[in-house]
Amino acid sequence: MIAMDGAELLGRLISINSVFPNEAELGLFLEQHLQSLGFKVKKQPVEGNRFNVLAEKDGNGECVMFYGHMDTVAPHGKWDSDPFVLRRGGDRLYGLGTWDMKGGLTAILKAVEGTKHRVKIAFCCDEENVSKGVNALLKSDFLEDVKVVVVAESGLNNKGITGPGMITLGRRGHVVFFVHVEGKAAHGGTPEAGINAISEAAKLITKLDEMNKTLRKHELLPPETQYVCRIAGFTESLSIPDKAHFEVDRHLVAPETAESALKGAQEYVKKLCDSGEIRAKVTIHLKERDGTYPESYITPKDNEYVKKLDGIVKKEMGSVYHNYALSVADENFLATRKTVITIGPAGESEHAANEWVSEKSIGQLTRIYKAFLEG
């Protein structure tokens, strides 16, 4: 395979549509590229024609694993150019997945060129969905000799900070509740005779929004939040609707789990129903999911690998910022088994139109990865 510089390689990755669940073409390209770099590569089946790309190379030192996901979300909003054609605007490289996370994949691939160190790479599918790829990885023995996992993901926060000067050491967890509201049917001409499930659901949603004030806080992670992400309810005749349902998306912090958060929500709603504030019958359960919900995690600042990376980042960037991300990623699952450190390129507009990544930051990140391996 012909050698490419970072921008050329990123342009090739962007040109391959890998909107989930269609990661296979990108996976085949990555397999061939890693083989050209001297890696032993295998495709790990996940489902159907979907697979993870797992690569390894023998060498010196402890085994470091670099991790990234191959999939992107679909293009959102109105783009100023073709999202599958890399467009340059000064230091900004525009395209779907440039920041989330093909810029990071590029840095990994450039960092391991010619390496003499023991290294593994896992490029997985389905991160933008329910993380089927990383959960398949965790069921294998690929991680057994890995000492630390370095992830090229962005670390979403509300401070506007991105790039290789930021190391993400934790993420909130995530759960979705399914809320069913059962009212009482009646003729539309006599609404007072029924209990409108849609109206009761609306009242309940307002109360659940108020619940944000009481949710758990954490000394490092952002506080818990929740919001309604889906709602449905209707009647097919001149009748008062007697059924409605909605879903609540919740971000969690330790020690809260999906199960404990559900119990707390159920108790909160029961008090509203018992007091008569909500007249309908309400039931809440966890939304069905293919696999477990991700729990929050923290990687300690005094971890030996964190301190090693801190020194490298300070040398390259001048300073280092420890970040605790707002939302979940595959790291939540990886952290159940291994030490996880996340450091990615600078960019903006992930999951939005005109997503971009800083070309300069890809170079900086590549040098940081190389130094971490050589150390």
Long-range contacts of 24-27 (CB under 8 A, 24+ apart): 24/49, 24/50, 24/51, 26/70, 27/51, 27/52, 27/53, 27/70, 27/123, 27/125
Q: Which residue has the tokens 């999906």?
A: 258
Please check whether residue 12 lies inside any domain of the structure: yes
What is the average per-residue pLDDT within 80-101? 97
Average pLDDT, the chain: 95
Domain boundary among 286, 311, 333: 286
Quick one: 249 exposed, middle or buried, by C-beta within 10 A (0-12, 13-18, 19+)?
A: middle
- Give the residue ranges of DSSP H helices in the chain: 6-15, 24-36, 103-111, 132-138, 197-210, 258-274, 304-317, 331-334, 359-374
Residue 2, pLDDT score: 55
Residue 245, pLDDT score: 97
Does 99 lie in the same domain as 85?
yes
Does 129 lie in the same domain as 23?
yes
Specify the length of the chain in residues: 375
Pick the closest to residue 289 from 101, 126, 139 (CA basis). Answer: 126
Domain boundary among 266, 286, 306: 286
Structure-block tokens of residue 3: 């050698």
Q: Which residue has the tokens 């009242």?
A: 203
Does 137 lie in the same domain as 122?
yes
Q: Cα separation of 14 and 30, whole Å?
A: 12
CATH code at position 233: 3.30.70.360
Does 177 lie in the same domain as 166?
no
What is the average per-residue pLDDT within 241-257? 96
CATH code at position 137: 3.40.630.10
Does 241 lie in the same domain as 135?
no
Q: Cα separation of 262 and 323, whole Å?
A: 28
Please check whether residue 291 lies inside any domain of the structure: no
The model's pTM is 0.92
Domain hosting residue 66, numbered range: 6-172+296-374
Residue 155, pLDDT score: 86
What is the average per-residue pLDDT within 75-88? 96
pLDDT one-digit tens code per residue, 196-217: 999 999 999 999 999 988 999 9
Does 74 lie in the same domain as 39?
yes
Q: Cα separation of 113 and 37, whole Å?
A: 6
Does 70 lie in the same domain as 154?
yes
Three-state SS for 327-349 is CCCCHHHHCCCCCEEECCCCEEC
Please check whether residue 63 lies inside any domain of the structure: yes
Q: Where does the pLDDT of residue 100 fall: very low under 50, low under 70, confident under 90, or very high at 90 and above? A: very high
Q: Cα separation of 155 and 341, whole Å?
A: 11
Residue 291, pLDDT score: 87
Q: Which residue has the tokens 């996976």?
A: 27
Does 184 lie in the same domain as 272?
yes
Please check whether residue 368 lies inside any domain of the structure: yes
What is the average per-residue pLDDT within 65-81? 96
Q: Which residue has the tokens 């810029």?
A: 103
Does 235 lie in the same domain as 106?
no
pLDDT one-digit tens code per residue, 298-343: 999 999 999 999 999 999 999 999 999 999 999 999 999 999 999 9
Please check whether residue 1 lies inside any domain of the structure: no
Please check whether residue 38 lies inside any domain of the structure: yes
Number of structural domains (the chain) is 2
Structure-block tokens of residue 54: 């797992």
Among 23-37, 42-56, 150-164, name the one with the lowest average pLDDT: 150-164
Does 92 lie in the same domain as 187?
no
Please check whether residue 134 lies inside any domain of the structure: yes
CA atoms 214, 217, 223, 228: torsion sign: negative
Does 311 lie in the same domain as 177?
no
Domain boundary among 256, 286, 316: 286
Residue 236, pLDDT score: 82
Q: Where does the pLDDT of residue 184 fall: very low under 50, low under 70, confident under 90, or very high at 90 and above? A: very high
Please check whether residue 279 lies inside any domain of the structure: yes
Q: Where does the pLDDT of residue 33 fall: very low under 50, low under 70, confident under 90, or very high at 90 and above? A: very high
Does 146 lie in the same domain as 135?
yes
